[in-house]
Amino acid sequence: MDLTVIIVNYNVKYFLEQCLLSVLKASRDLEIEIIVVDNHSVDGSVQMLNEKFPQVTVISNKTNYGFARANNQAIKISGGKYILLLNPDTIIEEDTFTKCLNYLDSNPDAGSIGVRMINGKGKYLPESKRGLPTPMTAFYKIFGFASMFPASRKFSKYYLGHLNSNETNEVDVLSGAFMMIRRSALEKTGLLDERFFMYGEDIDLSYRLKLSGYRNIYFPETTIIHFKGESTRKNSINYVILFYRAMIFFARKHFSDKKARYFIGFIYLAIWIRASISIIRRLFLKFINPLLDAIIIYSGFYLFLPVWEKYHFKDAGGYPDIYVKFVVPAYIFIWIMASFINTGYQRRIKLTGILRSVFVGSLVIIVIYALLPESMRFSRALIIIGSVWTVFSMLISRSILSMMLPGEFQIEIFNLKRRILIAGSITESKRVLNIIGHTHLRPELIGFVNPSDCIVEQGFIGNIEQIEEIVRINRIDELIFCASDMSAKQIIETMLRFHNADIDYMIAPPECLSVIGSNSTETTGNLYSLHFNTLSRLTNRLKKRVFDICCSLAMLCISPVLIFIVDQPLFFFVNIVRIIIGNSSWIGYNTNTSGSHKDLPPIKPGVLTPVENLSINDSDTEFIEKSNLQYAKDYRAVNDLRIIMGGLKNLGRKPPVLTKS
């Protein structure tokens, strides 16, 4: 057998599917076996493998054993002359295997081979080739010398910046995202060290191959896409700790005591610096916007309150000090909390998001105002004036932040649609457009591009050879490739033509209900999204609870109207009480099936469900389970509000009683 391809998967079903499709295309005319080790994914990966890829050997673990141990499980049952360790978030060219195998066959001293990698934006990934992380190499990288001198042989040794990324070279370390290893070399060096859980095992194996007399080859004559970072965010504190712990273990394993002490000292210093920077940066980005909002809103009240008092009281006095010191800050707090709940503090915010947040906050203020004693009701007019000023304040603060930190904060005064272009056949392009149409996205389609360089046919605005001009003239934001009509090689080559352009790429696998995004988190599909805003997060559970309470109080205030809409008014009031004391929620999973909701983040039984406004039958279990999954994976308080608005007559429905299984 020529080759064994081993893929370790953890909750990246859509990426795995696309990866396997590219692997199968590259496997033609070769004797290859594919082994996927699933580390206890909960996104339906194993089910997808069994249904769509029966030719793949699947090892389904009941716990997450980590990268090294999972690979070893597959290596022990493999039969290939060469073994490829491949990440699931990669796409390979059709001739990648053939080129790598030919090189290894012609160079028996080469123990392993890696390839040129680009990310989903078409940019070269420097970790395609790396140097050994010695103490000085680590020092130069940690303290920024490698970034300041990216082509220096001395300072940029970690990424071997002095070596041309387009030339074949012997290197110290290859990336575990694509590492093809000679079996005889692996038998000599031993399997992956299972003491490395996620990071560092590729460095350790590369080093052991060198110690055994083999060469590690960086081979850029073929290129793969590596979306990167699906399991762990590269800028997260968790990543910093896991990665540098692996480096400490590597140093203790391979360096002398003195050398290891220096290295470990640098590493601990790096952990402290990176963790501190990460914490400060996260806190700054999280609170700078609401803090700036609070300052601008309060400043506005401070300026226009005397003017209003002079108009309202005719020089006969004004509001007590308690109003400025406590009531106004309380208003501001409610508006800001409403903005948090209504996703008003996302990186990209639209005017509609600000308006919705202020409206909800003002509604809560008016409800509380109505419940206060007469002596505490100062001015409804100031609430209205303050609401208008709050909208302008949030626009001002966002505009300031978007100018100061354009990469972190963006504001859209108008709801500008993303301009997309689809490259593929007319039939497949329309299928992909239909998938996107079933998601929350509403892009503006500019047209279809013929994937061949032939004369443009009816329905196309141009062909692939004209793609650069089409993108430039039409100011395209997003280019979608139909993988059934374009080879991976053609897709990659097209992406490389735009490596300096600010454009996103999506890849639509054939016969799949998913589209893989270049930023690796905005994957869209029918009912699915890999943008994880899961209900398992404490902040989202808190948002859901706050929403339930605020919504219950608002319903109580307008109950004289709602009782004429709700089918069962008595149970409607019972539900309000149950929800306020925490026994129920307004929105919960649909429990008419015995399906996947049991494996989702637990929430209180709901009066309404995610499929409340859809015309479906209880027998459509697959659709219901997907809806439950989507609701849990991408929680939004505004989605709860939409479900309630569409199901007002059912607010008196009795929530289901959930029993422990």
Token pair listed for 77: 């049952």
Angle, vertex CA 136, rays to CA 131 and CA 138, nearest 5: 60
In the numeric block, the tokens 């079996």 are attached to 183
pLDDT averaged over the chain? 82
State the fold for domain 419-529.
Rossmann fold (3.40.50)
Quick check: 522 pLDDT over 50? no
The per-residue pLDDT for 647 is 84
pLDDT level of residue 599 (50, 70, 90 thresholds):
low
- pLDDT over 90, % of the chain: 28
Q: What is the pLDDT of residues 373-400, one digit of tens each?
A: 877 788 888 889 999 999 999 989 988 8
The one-letter amino acid code at 406 reads P
Banded pLDDT at 659 (limits 50, 70, 90): very low
Higher pLDDT, 197 or 6: 6
Query: What is the homologous superfamily of the domain 3-116+170-224 according to CATH?
Result: Spore Coat Polysaccharide Biosynthesis Protein SpsA; Chain A (3.90.550.10)
Q: Which of 539, 654, 522, 507 is nearest to 588 (CA)?
A: 654
Q: What pTM value is reported for the model?
A: 0.68
Whole-number Cα distances in Å, 631 to 603, 625, 640, 644? 11, 10, 10, 14
Say which residue, 214 or 308, is predicted with more confidence: 214
**For 187-298, where are the E strands, in sequence order?**
215-226
| Crossing angle between the packed helical segments 13-26 and 45-52, to the nearest 10 degrees | 30
- Residue pair 486/495 in contact (Cβ under 8 Å)? The answer is no
Q: Assess contact for 176 and 87: CB atoms under 8 A.
A: yes
- What is the CB neighbour count within 10 angstroms for residue 418? 12
Residue 109 pLDDT: 94
- The amino acid at residue 272 is W
528-529/524-525 β-pairing: antiparallel
CA 257 to chain centre: 41
Phi, psi angle pair for 223, to nearest 5°: -125, 145
Tell me how far apart the alpha carbons of residues 551 and 10 are, in angstroms, rounded to a whole number: 37
Q: Helices 13-26 and 96-106 sit at what angle, rounded to 10 degrees? A: 60
pLDDT, tens only, 154-165: 888 888 888 999
State residue 104's pLDDT score: 96
The better pLDDT of the pair 162, 238 is held by: 162
User: For the residues 122-135, what does the mean pLDDT come to?
Assistant: 86
pLDDT band with cut points at 50, 70 and 90 for residue 105: very high
Predicted confidence (pLDDT) at residue 594 exceeds the cutoff of 60? no
Query: Is 449 exposed, middle or buried (CB count within 10 Å of its CB: 0-12, 13-18, 19+)?
Result: buried
Q: Is 456 helix (H, G, I), strand (E, B) or coil?
A: coil
Q: What is the C-alpha to C-alpha distance for residues 633 and 649, in angstroms, rounded to an integer?
A: 27
SS3 505: strand
Question: 613-624, pLDDT tens digit by residue?
Answer: 665 555 567 667
Q: Looking up tokens 């080559």, which residue turns up?
A: 493
Domain range annotation of the chain = 3-116+170-224, 282-412, 419-529, 538-650
pLDDT at 230 (0 to 100): 42
Selected residue with higher pLDDT from 169 and 269 = 169
In this prediction, residue 622 carries a pLDDT of 66
User: Reduced to 3 states, what is the DSSP secondary structure of residue 164?
Assistant: coil
Is the predicted pLDDT of residue 69 greater than 80, yes or no? yes
Model pLDDT for residues 534-566, shown as the tens digit of each residue: 676 677 788 888 889 988 988 888 888 888 888
Q: pLDDT tens, 82-96?
A: 999 999 989 999 999
Of 522, 505, 523, 501, which is closest to residue 514 (Cα–Cα)? 523
* Residue 660 or 354, more confident: 354
Tell me the residue type at 441.
Answer: L
Q: What pLDDT does 531 receive?
A: 40
Amino acid residing at 133: P
Q: What is the pLDDT of residue 98?
A: 96
Are 344 and 394 contacting, i.e. CB atoms less than 8 angstroms apart?
yes
Query: Is pLDDT at 487 greater than 60 in this prediction?
Result: yes
Q: What is the pLDDT of residue 530?
A: 35
What confidence score (pLDDT) does residue 399 get?
86
Reduced to 3 states, what is the DSSP secondary structure of residue 302? helix
* Band of pLDDT at residue 500, cut at 50, 70 and 90: low
List beta partners, residue 587.
608
What is the structure's pLDDT at 377? 80
Residue 510 or 178, more confident: 178
Contact between residue 402 and residue 409 where contact means Cβ atoms under 8 Å apart? yes
pLDDT at 524 over 50: no
Residue 30 has what pLDDT? 93
- Name which of 130-144, 284-298, 419-433 the model is least confident about: 130-144
Alpha helices in 372-425 (DSSP H): 380-404
Q: Report phi then psi at 82, rounded to 5.
A: -125, 150
Q: What is the pLDDT of residue 342?
A: 72
Q: What is the pLDDT of residue 532?
A: 42
Regarding predicted confidence, which is higher, 601 or 294?
Answer: 294
Most confident range, picked from 53-57, 272-276, 515-519, 620-624? 53-57
> Tens digit of pLDDT for each residue in 19-50?
999 999 999 889 999 999 999 887 788 988 99
578 vs 141, more confident: 578
